[in-house]
Chains A and B, each alone.
Chain A
C-alpha cells in the first residue's frame, strides 16, 4: 500500500492543542548498570554508566531520540564508588575467576524508541575484575573485540554473525589478559553464526564456494573444523549443544544436525525451525514444526510430536545439559531433549505468556510470571519458581514488584530488580534471594547515577 493512502486511516485535527507533550522532560537521565559478582556471591560490584536521553521535538511531533554517554562509568559496591572506568557503552561477561567489563568508544547514538541499547560496536577497552578481591585492571584491546565469547576463564573474539552481502573475514581469536589477541582461525565467508557454550565456541559460516564451514574451539584453544558441501544455511536459525560438539542449522527445507568432529550431517528433520535445542550427546534435538508450531523431538530414527505448541514468536529456549525450557502458547515447559519427554509445565497467568522471564540456574531454571497493567504500562511480578524436570518450587516475591527483571550474575544468588511503585517517583530496588534455601537475603535500592549530574553532563555522580 502506498504511504499516502495510509494517510486516510488517521485524521488529526490541528486546531486542537491537547498539550500531551507538556510537562514531560525533553532530557532524561538513565543509568546503565551491570553486575560483577565476586566468587562466593557474598559481594557484588555494579558498574554504572551515565546516559542522557534527549527527545527531539518539532511542534507536537517527536521525531526521535538520542542517547549520549556523558562521562566515565564508575564501579560501586554497597552504593560506594571504588573505581572509575572508561567512557563508552559497556557489557560484562562473568568468567570462572574474573569478570570482563568490556567498553566501546561509542558515546552517542540515535533511535526511534524512547530508550535503546547501543548499536553493535567493537569493544576497545577491557577492565578485568578479579572475582576473589574485586580488584580491577584496565587494558586497551588491540585489535578491538568484535563479539566476546567467554568460556570458563578464556575470552574468545569472533566475527559478527548474520547475513553479509559481500565476502568478509571470519576470525576466531583468543584474547589475552594484556589486551592482545592470538588468531586461532581465519577464513572468508558470507553468512555466519556463532554460539558460546560451557564446552566451547562454535562458528559456522558460508564459504565463497557455497559450502558450509564449521569450527569449534574449546577453552584450551583446541580447534576442530569441518566443511559440509553445498549446505546453505540461515544464520538466524542456529543452535549448539552445551558441550559445543554439535550444531543444528536451518536450511530452506528444515533443520540439519551436524557432528563437528566427525564433519558430517547426522540427520535432516524437514520443516523444523527455531526454537531448537540439541541434547548434550548431540544425537537428538527438539524444535518447532513449521506447519503447526508443535514442538517435535527428532533423532536419526525420525520425529515424535511432543504435543505442546510453541507461540508464533517465542522467546529463545533456555537450556542446561539435556533439559530445556520452552515458551508455549499458554505455559512454559521443561523438556528432556535427550529422551523427548515433557516434564514440569507452568501455566500462564492469562491466556498468553507475556510478560515473563526464564533463566538458567545450574541444572535448573528460574522463572517469573508477571501481569501487565494496560493503564500504567507496567509489569508486576506475580509468581516466581525454581524449576527442574519434576517440580516447580515457589520463590518468595520481592516487595518491589513493578517492571521486574531477573539477574543471575553468580552461582547462588538471584537478584530481582523491581520498582516500588508505578509513579514517576518510584525507585528501583535489588532484592537478593538465595536460590538454594529460597530465602530473601536483602532488599536494597539499586545504585544509580545522580540525575542532576547526568543531565548537566558531568558524569555519573
Chain B
C-alpha cells in the first residue's frame, strides 16, 4: 500500500503547542468523481462501473489516479486503476502518460496497458503536511474531464470521467 493511501486514511491532527486544543484537518468539497468505465473482455462480455459509486480520484505529485471496481455476472469484484502522470492545468493527450492496471486473471499479477485519449485539467492542487513520523495528509483540489481508452490483447477499457473536488485545511477543536 502506498504511503499516500495510508496517509489519507489516517488524518493528521496537528496539535497546538500552546495548549489551545485546536487541530488543522483537511476538508474536501464538491461532487467528486462521476462518469462511467466499461471493460469489454476477450469473450465479448462487458462489465461496467458507475464512477459515482465505489470510486475515487486522487492526485500525488502531479499523477492523477482513478480507482474503481467492475462486478461480473457472478458478483465477483475486480479493481482497476487508471493513472495519468505529469499533470498540471491544461489539456493533454494521454498518449505516453496514462496506463490502466488490473488483474486480467484470477490470482494473477496486475497487468498494465497504455491508455490513449484526452484530459482537460482545469484545476489541480495538493496542499500536504507531513510529520517526521511519516504520518501526513493532503487537501486535494481536482477539476478535470477525461476520456480514455486502453486496449490490451483482445480486451478494451473505456473511461469517461468528470471530477470536481475542492480541498482545504480547516481549524477545528481536537
Contacts and interface: CB of A to CB of B under 8 A. Distances in A.
Contacts of B8: 3-4, 6-7
Considering residues B2, B32, B109, B135, which has the most beta carbons from chain A within 10 angstroms of its beta carbon? B135
A252 B74 contact: yes
18 contacts: A1-B54, A3-B8, A4-B26, A5-B28, A9-B9, A13-B15, A14-B13, A59-B133, A60-B134, A63-B1, A64-B1, A120-B107, A160-B106, A164-B42, A165-B152, A166-B42, A208-B43, A236-B76
Considering residues A7, A15, A58, A168, which has the most beta carbons from chain B within 10 angstroms of its beta carbon? A7
A4 B165 contact: yes
B1 A4 contact: no
A411 interface: no
Contacts of B41: 165-166, 190
Contacts of A252: 73-74
Contacts of B56: 2-4
B162 interface: no
Contacts of A206: 43
B105 A14 contact: no
8 closest pairs, A vs B, by CB? A59-B134, A162-B106, A59-B133, A15-B15, A58-B134, A7-B11, A166-B42, A61-B134
B134 A163 contact: no
Given A4-B140, A206-B43, A250-B74, A59 B13 contact: no
Given A15-B15, A63-B1, A119 B9 contact: no
B74 A14 contact: no
B18 interface: no
B106 A10 contact: no
A375 interface: no
A438 to B, nearest CB: 39
A4 B73 contact: no
Interface string B65-92: 0000000111010000000000000000
Contacts of B107: 119-120, 160, 162
B1 A166 contact: no
Given A13-B15, A161-B106, A166-B155, A7 B3 contact: no
Interface string B46-64: 0000000010101000000
Contacts of A210: 43
Nearest to A62: B6
B174 interface: yes
Nearest to B54: A1
A244 B41 CA distance: 31
Contacts of B15: 13-15
Given A3-B56, A162-B106, A12 B1 contact: no
